Amino acid sequence: MSEYLSAEELKQHFSDIHPPFEHAEGAILEANRCINCYDAPCTKSCPTSIDVPLFIKQISSGNIKGSARTIFSSNIMGGGCSKVCPVEKLCEGACVYNLREEEPISIAKLQRYSTEKAIHEKWSLFERKPSNGKKVAVVGAGPAGLACAHALSLEGIDVTVFEKEGKGGGLMTYGVAAYKVTPESCQDEVDYITSIGGIDIQYNKELGKDVTLAGLQKEFDAVFVGIGVGVARELNIPGENLKGVVDAISFIYDLRTNDYSKITVGDKVAVIGMGMTAIDAATQSKRLGAKEVTMIYRRTEQEKPCTDVELDLAKLDGCLFEWLASPKEIIGENGKLKKLVCSKMKLGEPDSSGRRAPVDTGEIFTIEVDMIIKAAGQIPFEELVSGSALQNKGGKISINTSGETNLKGVFAGGDAVNGGKEVVDAVQAGKDGAKGILQYLKLSY
Amino acid sequence: MANLQSNFLGIKSPNPFWLASAPPTDKKINVLRAFEAGWGGVVWKTLGSQVKNVSSRYSTLDYNGQKVMGFNNIELISDRPLEINLQEIREVLKLFPDRAMVVSLMADNDRKSWHELVKKTQDTGAHGIELNFGCPHGMVERGMGAAVGQDPEIAKMVVEWVMEVAKIPVITKLSPNVHSVVPIGKSVIKGGTNGLSLINTIQSVTGIDLDTLVPNPNVGGKSVFGGYCGPAVKPIALKMLTTLAQDPDTRNIPVSGIGGISTWRDAVEFMLLGASNVQVCTAAMHYGFRIVRDMCDGLSNWMDEKGYTSTSDFIGLSVPKITRWEELDINYHIIANIDQSKCIHCGLCYIACEDTSHQSISIEKGMPYNTYTVKDEECVGCNLCKIVCPVDDCITMEEHRKGPEYLNWIEFQKRGLPLNDH
Ligand SMILES: Cc1cc2nc3c(=O)[nH]c(=O)nc-3n(C[C@H](O)[C@H](O)[C@H](O)COP(=O)(O)OP(=O)(O)OC[C@H]3O[C@@H](n4cnc5c(N)ncnc54)[C@H](O)[C@@H]3O)c2cc1C
Ligand SMILES: Cc1cc2nc3c(=O)[nH]c(=O)nc-3n(C[C@H](O)[C@H](O)[C@H](O)COP(=O)(O)O)c2cc1C
Ligand code: SF4
Ligand code: SF4
C-alpha cells in the first residue's frame, strides 16, 4: 500500500482545479468578451436552458444580483453546476468563439462568480408563495430532489424530503471529485436552496426501510422519487471478491466523507472504465499518493465516454492507459491482490450505442496491481424500485412526458430514471417533475 | 520613403503631429519628454491671468470595459506663473529648435491685456500663437474663452487687437459649443487670423456616481459641466472641419485638426477633410508620448502604399466626397450577403434586422446553431447587419443597381417616380 503524503501535499493535490475570478475586473473583462448571441447556442446547449448571454451582460453592467437570479431561476444548483458541469460538451463547447478557433467565453467561471457571491452573502432572490396546504414528499436530497423541492416550495407547496444519508446534495456531496467541490460548499448550497422555506429535509430516512412508497402516497398529495443510482457495476470475473478490489462509488464516498489521510490507496492501481467516475477514481488515487495508476478500457480513445478535458486531466496527473483491454481475471496470492489479467480487444461492427463494439482477440496480457477500482457504470436500485411496484427497465424507473411513473401521483427523475448522467440533467429532471406535479395538483396548466 | 515634414503657416515641424494645448504641454519637463519621443511640435498650455484649479478634475466615459472612450476635464488655463512659463518656453526653444513651438493665449478681455500678453510671448522666440476662444468651463464666467468664441463680433474684435501687435502667425482655436463653427470662422478671418484650429472641448456631463448621486468629477460633493474630448468626439470634430472646407469664405485658410485623434488613421482622416496638420491631447494623456512612434510610422507606410510623397499630396482629398443629401444617387442599391463559410451563427445580424430594421434576414433553427440568410428582395442596404456582425468580411454589401443611370432625389420627384409601397 502507498505511503501517506503530508497534509500539505494532500491539501495541494485536492485544491480547486478551476479557481474562481479573484477580482471583479477579471470577471468584467471576460464578461465583455461575450458578444451576446441571439438564440444563443450556449443557452441551447444547457440542459436547464440558463439564459447565458443575459447573466453575462448582467455581470458586465454591475447587476450581479440580477445575474445570480437569472442563473438560479433556470438552475437552482447553478452554483454547484458552475464547478462540476462538463462545460466543454455543454455551453462552452457550443460558444461561437470555438468557430473562430478562439477560446470560448469562460461561462462556468462567470457563473461561479455570481452564484458564489449570492450563496456567500445569502442573497434572498426568490419569495415563496403563501402555503396552499398541499403536501409533497421528495425522496432523495440529490440535485433532482432538491431542484424539485425548490420549484414546488416556490409555488406554496409544503415539501418533506426523505434522505437516507446524513447530508444533502446527493452525489454532489458524496460522488463528485474532491478537487471540484468541497463538503462545505455543498452544505452551503443545500442551505441556500432550502432558505426559501417550506422544505423540510428528514435525514437518515431511507425509502424501503424507514418509509414506504405506499405510505408516502397515502400521507402526501404527490411523491417525487430522485434516489439516483447505486454502486458500480459488477465485473463478473474470477477474483472480484478479493480484498483490494473496490467499487469506485464507495471509494469516492470514503474520500468525500473522511480526512484524506485516512483513505487507503494502493501503490499500483488499476481503474476499470473510462467514464467520468473512472477518471475521478484514477485522478484522485494518484492525488492520494498512488505510484502507478492504469486505466483499463475496452474500446479506443475515440469511443471513450468521458470528454477530452477529463481525459487530459488524467493524463496530466500521470495516469497510464490500456486501450482495447477487458478485465478477464483477478489473481491474488495469500489473500493479497497481485495481478490483473486482461483480454486484448479489437473493434468490430457498431453496436446499439452506434460505437464500434469491442471484440476479444483471444490474446491476453497481465499487469501487476495491488488495488483495483471498478468504475464501469453504476447499477440502479433494482430491488427497491421493483419492490415498490414502479415500472422500470433494469431498475431505471420509467416515466411519461410529464415525469409521472406508472403509479398515480408518483413522479421520478434524475439518475434514477436516466441511469446516470450529469448534475445539470438531474436538476432539469427535478424541474420537470415539479412541473408535472403542479399540473397533477391543478396548480398550473 | 514618404516625407512627413509639415509646414503650417510657415511654422515647420518634422512631422504633422503636435500636442494640443493642455497638461501634456504645460511645462518644460513634459515638453522635453514629448520632443524626445518624437512629437513634431506643441501648442503650449494656455497662458493668461492667474487662476487656481480644484481636485478632482477629470472623468471619463468607458464603454463595455473599454476605458476612455471619452475624456472630460474641469481644468482651467495654466495655473503656473506667466514668467516661469515664458522662461521655460525660451529654454525648450533652445534645446529643440527644429520643433514647432506655438503658445496658446487667453488674456483678460481688454485690448491692453492682449497686447501685453502677445508681446511677451513673441519675445520668447516662439513660432506662433494660438488664441484660446474655446475653453468651455471656468473661464466663461470670467468673460474669457468660450464666451468670446461663441460671439462672432467679440471674437473678431479680439483677433483684431492681437493682429495689431502680432509678428508671428496667429491661429484661432474654435469652440465646438456653437450651432455652426462657420460664422465665427468667417468673422475671425475678417479680423485677420492667419489660421484656424478645431475643436476645443465640448460641454458635457460624463456620468453620475450611482451611490452618491454626484456627477463626475466630484469636487467635494458637487460637480460642474466639463469639457469633453477623446475618441468619442472625433466624428463631431470631423464634421465641423468639413463645414469649414465646404464654405467659400473659410475653405482657403489653413486649419489644424483636433479632436479624438489617437492613431495615424485618425490623423489621416482629419487631413483628408482639409486639416494641414493635427493636434493630440487625450490619447497622449491615456498612453504617454510614445504613441507618436506608430503615428509617424503608420502615416509613412500608408503614404508609401498610396504613392504620396508629402502630406500636401492628400490633404483635402475627401472633401468633395461629402455632398448634399439631394445629390445622392437613388439608383445605387446594395444588398447584404452572408458568407456562410465565415458565419459563426451568433444571430446578431438577424435580431438587429428583425427587431429594428427591415425583417430581411431569415432564420432556420438548428441545434445548437441556426442558419441565417438574407432575403434579397427585402434588404434595403442599410449596413446594420454588417455593422453588428463580429466577423470581418462575413457580411458584404453587394451592388445591385436599381437603374443604370445616376438619379438624384430632385430628378426622382420631377419624374414623379413611385415611393416605397411597404
Ligand atoms: C464519481 C462520480 C463523479 C461525478 N462527477 C460529476 C461531475 O463532475 N459533474 C456532473 O455534472 N456530474 C457528475 N456526476 C454525476 C452526478 O453526480 C449525478 O448525475 C447527479 O448527482 C444525479 O442527481 P440525482 O439527484 O438524480 O441523484 P443523486 O445525486 O445520486 O442523489 C440521490 C439521493 O437520493 C438518496 N437516496 C438514495 N436512495 C435512497 C433511499 N432509498 N431513500 C432515501 N434517499 C435515498 C441518496 O443518498 C442521494 O442523496 C458524477 C457521478 C459520480 C458517481
Ligand atoms: C485636461 C485638459 C486641459 C485642457 N486645457 C486646454 C487649454 O488650456 N487650452 C486649450 O486651448 N485647450 C485645452 N484643452 C483642449 C485640448 O487642447 C484639445 O482641444 C481637446 O482635448 C481635443 O483633443 P483630444 O480629443 O485629442 O483630447 C484641454 C484638454 C484637456 C483634456
Ligand atoms: S455563445 Fe459565447 S459569445 Fe455567444 S452568447 Fe454564449 S457565451 Fe456569449
Ligand atoms: S452577425 Fe455575422 S456571424 Fe453572426 S449570424 Fe450574422 S452573419 Fe453570422
Look at ligand 1, atom 21, and give the residue with the nearest C-alpha.
A171
A198 within 8 A of A158, measured Cβ to Cβ: yes
Q: Which residue has the higher pLDDT, B29 or A354?
A: B29
Residues enclosing ligand 3, CB less than 6 A? Answer: A 34-37, 40-42, 52-53, 95-97, 104-105, 107; B 346
Pick the atom of ligand 4 nearest to B347's CA.
5
User: How high is the mean pLDDT of chain A?
Assistant: 95
Domain-embedded: residue B382: yes
Q: How far apart are CA B238 and CA B259, in angstroms?
A: 8
Q: Which fold has domain A19-120?
A: Fumarate Reductase Iron-sulfur Protein; Chain B, domain 2 (1.10.1060)
Sort out which chain A residues have CB atoms less than 8 A from B390's CB and list them: 35
Q: How far apart are CA A77 and CA A318, in angstroms?
A: 32
Q: How far apart are CA A222 and CA B385, in angstroms?
A: 51
Nearest CA of chain B to the CA of A40: how many Å? Answer: 7
Q: How far apart are CA B34 and CA B41, in angstroms?
A: 9
Q: Which residue has the cell 519637463?
A: B29
Residues A128-138: tens digit of each pLDDT: 999 999 999 99
The verdict on whether B135 is a catalytic residue reads yes
Sort out which chain B residues have CB atoms less than 8 A from A40's CB and list them: 346-347
Nearest-by-CA chain B residue for A100: B344
For residue B213, the Cα-to-chain-centroid distance in whole angstroms is 31
User: B225 phi and psi, to 5 degrees?
Assistant: -60, 140
User: A261 phi and psi, to 5 degrees?
Assistant: -65, -15
Q: Which residue, of B290, B321, B352, is where some domain finishes?
A: B321
Say whether both B194 and B330 belong to one domain.
no
User: Residue B258: which of B34, B37, B22 has the closest Cα?
Assistant: B22
pLDDT confidence bin for A196, thresholds 50/70/90: very high
Domain-embedded: residue B244: yes
CATH code, domain with B87: 3.20.20.70
- Top CATH class, A135-230+380-440: alpha beta
Residues enclosing ligand 1, CB less than 6 A? Answer: A 84-85, 139-145, 162-165, 170-172, 175-176, 180, 206-208, 226-228, 249, 252, 276-277, 280, 384, 414-416, 420-424, 426
Sheet holding A356-368, edge to edge: A325-333, A336-350, A356-368
User: Residue A329: which of A316, A338, A342, A319 has the closest Cα?
Assistant: A342
Question: What pLDDT is stored for residue B49 in this prediction?
Answer: 86
Rounded mean pLDDT, A365-380:
93
Say whether both B179 and B196 belong to one domain.
yes
Question: What pLDDT is stored for residue B148 in this prediction?
Answer: 82
CA distance readout (Å), B234 to B69, B162, B198: 10, 30, 11
Ligand nearest to the CA of A94: 3
A289-320 burial, b if ≥16 CB within 10 A, otherwise e? Answer: bbebbbbbbbbbeebbbbbeebbebbeebebe
Sort out which chain B residues have CB atoms less than 8 A from A45's CB and list them: 368
Nearest CA of chain B to the CA of A172: how many Å? Answer: 28
Q: How far apart are CA B285 and CA B266, in angstroms?
A: 17
Interchain contact, B344 vs A96, CB within 8 Å: yes
Say whether both B161 and B17 belong to one domain.
yes
Look at ligand 3, atom 3, and give the residue with the nearest C-alpha.
A34
Rounded mean pLDDT, A315-340:
94
Say whether both B361 and B230 belong to one domain.
no
Question: What pLDDT is stored for residue B236 in this prediction?
Answer: 98
Domain-embedded: residue B420: no
Q: How far apart are CA A161 and CA A168, in angstroms?
A: 10
Look at ligand 3, atom 8, and give the residue with the nearest C-alpha.
A34
Look at ligand 4, atom 4, and give the residue with the nearest C-alpha.
B346
B336 within 8 A of B397, measured Cβ to Cβ: yes
- Chain A contact probe: residue of B66, B67, B344 with most A CBs at under 10 A: B344
- Chain A contact probe: residue of B66, B345, B346, B353 with most A CBs at under 10 A: B346
For residue A309, the Cα-to-chain-centroid distance in whole angstroms is 16
B258 within 8 A of B281, measured Cβ to Cβ: yes
- The ipTM, to two decimals, is 0.88
Where in chain A are the domains?
19-120, 135-230+380-440, 233-377
Burial class of residue B179 in the structure, from the number of CB atoms within 10 Å of its CB (0-12 exposed, 13-18 middle, 19+ buried): exposed
A287 within 8 A of A385, measured Cβ to Cβ: no
Domain-embedded: residue B122: yes
Q: How far apart are CA A345 and CA A326, in angstroms?
A: 7
Residues A76-114: tens digit of each pLDDT: 999 999 999 999 999 999 999 999 999 999 999 999 999
Say whether both B211 and B330 belong to one domain.
no
Q: Which residue, of B321, B339, B364, is where some domain finishes?
A: B321
Asked if the domains at A19-120 and A135-230+380-440 fall in one CATH topology, the answer is no
Which amino acid, one-letter code, is at B229? C
Say whether both B217 and B151 belong to one domain.
yes
Domain-embedded: residue B421: no
Kindly give the distance from the C-alpha atom of residue A396 to the centroid of ligand 1, in angstroms, as a whole number. Answer: 14
Domain-embedded: residue B422: no
User: Residue A310: which of A15, A18, A10, A11 has the closest Cα?
Assistant: A18
Say whether both B274 and B405 belong to one domain.
no
Rounded mean pLDDT, A326-343:
93
From B17, B18, B19, B21, mutation site for ligand 2 pocket: most ligand atoms within 8 A of C-beta: B21
A425 within 8 A of A47, measured Cβ to Cβ: yes
Say whether both B277 and B316 belong to one domain.
yes
The helix (H) or strand (E) run that includes residue B411 is: helix B409-414
From A82, A190, A227, mutation site for ligand 1 pocket: most ligand atoms within 8 A of C-beta: A227
Residues A148-175: tens digit of each pLDDT: 999 999 999 999 999 999 999 999 999 9
From B339, B346, B374, mutation site for ligand 4 pocket: most ligand atoms within 8 A of C-beta: B346
User: Residue A172: which of A416, A358, A423, A425 has the closest Cα?
Assistant: A423
Nearest CA of chain B to the CA of A398: how many Å? Answer: 27
Please state which of the ranges A140-144, A376-380, B91-95, B330-334 shows the lowest mean pLDDT. A376-380
Kindly give the distance from the C-alpha atom of residue A71 to the centroid of ligand 4, in angstroms, as a whole number. Answer: 26
DSSP 8-state code for residue A397: E
Q: Which residue has the cell 442599391?
A: B333
Sort out which chain B residues have CB atoms less than 8 A from A34's CB and list them: none
Look at ligand 4, atom 2, and give the residue with the nearest C-alpha.
B389
Kindly give the distance from the C-alpha atom of residue B309 to the centroid of ligand 2, in angstroms, as a whole number. Answer: 31
Rounded mean pLDDT, A250-262:
91
Given the DSSP bridges, would you call strands A222-225 and A410-412 parallel, antiparallel or unpaired?
parallel
Say whether both B119 and B73 belong to one domain.
yes
Pick among 3.40.50.1260, 3.40.630.10, 3.50.50.60, 3.40.50.300: CATH of A233-377: 3.50.50.60
Q: How many separate domains does chain B show?
A: 2
As averages over each run of 10 residues, the pLDDT of chain B (422 residues) reads 95 98 98 98 95 94 93 95 98 98 94 96 98 70 70 94 98 95 97 98 96 97 96 98 98 98 98 98 98 97 97 97 96 98 98 97 98 97 98 97 95 90 68
Q: Which residue, of B267, B286, B321, is where some domain finishes?
A: B321
Question: What pLDDT is stored for residue A1 in this prediction?
Answer: 47
The answer to whether A45 faces chain B, any CB pair under 8 Å, is yes
Say whether both B398 and B281 belong to one domain.
no
Ligand nearest to the CA of B390: 4
Task: For chain A, give the percent of residues with pLDDT over 70.
Answer: 99
CATH code, domain with B357: 3.30.70.20
CA end-to-end distance (rounded Å), chain A: 59
What residues in chain B have their Cβ under 8 A from chain A's Cβ atoms?
Answer: 64-66, 344-348, 350-351, 363, 365, 367-370, 390-391
Interchain contact, B65 vs A28, CB within 8 Å: yes
| Domain range enclosing B353 | 326-414
Q: How far apart are CA A43 and CA A37, in angstroms?
A: 10
